[in-house]
Amino acid sequence: MRSRYAIAALFLLLCGIAMAGPDGERVAVAQGSGPSGTPGGKRPADFTLPALDGEPVALNQFLGKKPVLLVFWATWCPECREAIPSLNALHAGPLGGKLQILGLDTLESRKKVSAAVKAHQILYPILLDEGGKVARAYDVVGIPTYVLISREGQVVYRDHVLPGDFSRYL
């Protein structure tokens, strides 16, 4: 059992290193004081990614209108799968109209992600970060990673677990 956890931890570490990549390519980031995607840091990196239906979705189409919860995840991640019912409830519940949830699947094919969305009945939009550029721009090392961006475009929460009370951020 211990070796399983050690292997999983090593795998996540290697995924983080692989996602960092050697090319240093980034998505556009606004100026600020700390790393992009960290509370109190730079404004979050703007991005445009394809949804599962192929339509482009841009972060900036939501900023100024409502807060956005970015969910960096993958189909193989057990913690990510465990969070789906909570995210579906959040999306369909009373806060659903006040908060935009965007799932960003990293480094997986459209076919694999579509099958997982169908199998797990995911209700919120899923975007494909097939090259991992957005995950690198947000310094994602390990998944799930949740980044909550306020209506004003500031990162107000970032962690590997969902916040207990979203209302304090809305």
The model's pLDDT over 49-98, given as tens digits with 9 standing for 90+, comes to 999 999 999 999 999 999 999 999 999 999 999 999 999 999 999 888 89
Residue 46 sits in a domain whose CATH number is 3.40.30.10
What is the count of structural domains for the chain?
1
- Name every residue whose Cβ is closer than 8 Å to that of residue 117 and which is 6 or more positions away in sequence: 52, 126
The model's pLDDT over 9-39, given as tens digits with 9 standing for 90+, comes to 444 444 444 444 433 333 433 333 344 566 7
Dig out the tokens for 50 from the structure.
Answer: 């394809």
Helix %, strand %, coil % of the chain (to 5)? 35, 20, 45
pLDDT of residue 169: 81
pLDDT of residue 116: 98
Dig out the tokens for 147 from the structure.
Answer: 């980044």
pLDDT of residue 142: 95
> How far apart, in whole angstroms, are the C-alpha atoms of residue 134 and residue 46?
9
Q: Which residue has the higher pLDDT, 140 or 17?
A: 140
Residues of the domain holding 88: 2-169
Q: What percent of the chain is predicted at pLDDT more than 90?
A: 68
